[in-house]
Chain A
């Protein structure tokens, strides 16, 4: 099986699971008492945010590895991961306001987490623009690796910056020092969705990586 078809197969599996997430979230997970139906978007929003963070952290890691080893496969992976991460960031940034309007009463607020993820999104748009503007593969790989590492170093600073403002965003409920504070049914749906979005990430990146290999053969 070629890498491309393997990527397609993983993506297809991810999409089937995604349908499962919808079915489970809508019909088999209890409605939250205070937020009502709007809370259901949580099962898409939070896993999308997870995939975004995963994608962008791996861009930073792949950038460091590229500069150390000068192996073009790391660069191709970083490119694929950045593109896929940007798509997940779009999902996160559109589902967030949809939920925020009925619950917070506003589409957007300059809260710590919202602002950091928005700037992360801009940072990676810039990363992709830079990649698109350099025709020569070696220079492109080197420059984007440098930018990728700078971006990774910037993230904690942006987070700290906006954290010094007050935050309105719900606090983490799964990945936190104490036990998850979510009823079992909801937690199961959320974890299933995390799993699904990770599969989707792997599927998309594998396909994009395979396409990137084609690019370098043609170019």
Chain B
């Protein structure tokens, strides 16, 4: 297991180095996040719906849309010059390959979320400082779940026609449990309710992470092997 994690980390670092050198992917994802937040603000009637009522949904829809966009490029990157074949013939465990992609995607999406969250607080005038530790933990738990599924599904669609469209179609049903759970917990956090009210949702989110990270790690080798 130690070796798998070490290899996964090396692969993740490769992806992140690639990302940091070009910066186009990261920059577009950040601009996209800022734009979605702005568009949503105008997508409501401010006299009828208070910003706070919609805030948790807007936050999570923005995060999940940004994640779908970022996930599209995870394996697309490897199609150029048959880099994927190179990875597959290298003496690396397939599970390390999946975990590497997962780490890299988590860093990418996590960075977008880290920039998106203060922007959201600014635009919607919501004080997040006093709930920051539980909110950050919640974002981490929910993000791990949907990025784990997204990483595997993005490997499925790369060789498929209309991959950019196919990924969201396949992925959005899988976003329902983490999205709904995260919105519920976020709403309670913003309104200062105790976390014990949402213990069911928290357990659901944790179980989702556990099931889908293991299932994806287990099934990834069959997915990429001819």
Chain A residues near B180: list those with CB within 8 A: 161-162
Bitwise interface map of A from 107 to 146 toward B, beta carbon under 8 Å scored 1, else 0: 0000000000001001101100110011000110011011
**A-binding segment of B19-27, B80-88, B215-223:** B215-223
Q: Is A153 an interface residue, CB under 8 A from the partner?
A: yes
User: Quick one: closest A residue to B223, CB to CB?
Assistant: A146
* B166, A150: Cβ atoms closer than 8 Å: no
* A161, B204: Cβ atoms closer than 8 Å: yes
Chain B residues near A123: list those with CB within 8 A: 173
Among A67, A130, A142, the residue within 8 A (CB) of B160 is A130
Q: Is A160 an interface residue, CB under 8 A from the partner?
A: yes
Q: Is B50 an interface residue, CB under 8 A from the partner?
A: no
Secondary structure of the A side of the interface? helix
Q: Is A87 an interface residue, CB under 8 A from the partner?
A: no
User: Quick one: closest A residue to B198, CB to CB?
Assistant: A164
Given contacts A130-B170, A157-B204, A164-B204, contact A147 B156 (CB under 8 A): yes
* B174, A160: Cβ atoms closer than 8 Å: no
User: Quick one: closest B residue to A161, CB to CB?
Assistant: B177
Given contacts A146-B156, A150-B152, A153-B215, contact A164 B200 (CB under 8 A): yes
* B166, A154: Cβ atoms closer than 8 Å: no
* B222, A146: Cβ atoms closer than 8 Å: yes
* B169, A142: Cβ atoms closer than 8 Å: no
* B223, A142: Cβ atoms closer than 8 Å: yes
Given contacts A133-B160, A158-B173, contact A150 B222 (CB under 8 A): no
* A143, B170: Cβ atoms closer than 8 Å: no
Q: Is A149 an interface residue, CB under 8 A from the partner?
A: yes
Report the Cα distance A125→B223, complex, angstroms.
20
* A164, B223: Cβ atoms closer than 8 Å: no
* A133, B162: Cβ atoms closer than 8 Å: yes
* B170, A157: Cβ atoms closer than 8 Å: no
Q: Is B100 an interface residue, CB under 8 A from the partner?
A: no
Chain A residues near B170: list those with CB within 8 A: 126, 129-130, 147
User: Quick one: closest B residue to A123, CB to CB?
Assistant: B173
Report the Cα distance A143→B180, complex, angstroms.
27
* B177, A157: Cβ atoms closer than 8 Å: yes
* B201, A153: Cβ atoms closer than 8 Å: no
CB of B113 to closest CB in A, whole Å: 21
Query: In the complex, which range does the number of interface residues on chain A fall in?
Result: 20 to 34
Q: Is B37 an interface residue, CB under 8 A from the partner?
A: no
Chain A residues near B160: list those with CB within 8 A: 130, 133-134
Report the Cα distance A150→B171, complex, angstroms.
11
CB of B2 to closest CB in A, whole Å: 27
User: Quick one: closest A residue to B145, CB to CB?
Assistant: A157
Chain B residues near A153: list those with CB within 8 A: 211-212, 215
Given contacts A153-B212, A157-B204, A157-B208, contact A143 B173 (CB under 8 A): no
Given contacts A126-B170, A133-B166, A138-B226, contact A158 B176 (CB under 8 A): yes
Chain A residues near B173: list those with CB within 8 A: 119, 122-123, 126, 154, 158
CB of B163 to closest CB in A, whole Å: 9
CB of B203 to closest CB in A, whole Å: 9
Extra contacts besides A150-B219, A153-B212 (13): CB < 8 Å = A122-B173, A130-B157, A133-B162, A134-B159, A139-B226, A147-B170, A150-B149, A150-B152, A157-B204, A157-B208, A158-B177, A161-B180, A161-B181
Interchain residue pairs with CB less than 8 A apart (30) = A67-B219, A119-B176, A126-B169, A126-B170, A129-B166, A129-B169, A130-B156, A130-B160, A130-B166, A130-B170, A133-B162, A133-B166, A142-B222, A143-B223, A145-B222, A146-B152, A147-B156, A147-B170, A150-B153, A150-B212, A150-B219, A153-B211, A157-B176, A158-B173, A161-B176, A161-B177, A161-B181, A161-B204, A164-B201, A164-B204
B interface residues with partner A (beta carbon < 8 Å): 149, 152-153, 156-157, 159-162, 166, 169-170, 172-174, 176-177, 180-181, 184, 200-201, 204, 207-208, 211-212, 215, 219, 222-223, 226
A interface residues with partner B (beta carbon < 8 Å): 67, 119, 122-123, 125-126, 129-130, 133-134, 138-139, 142-143, 145-147, 149-150, 153-154, 157-158, 160-162, 164
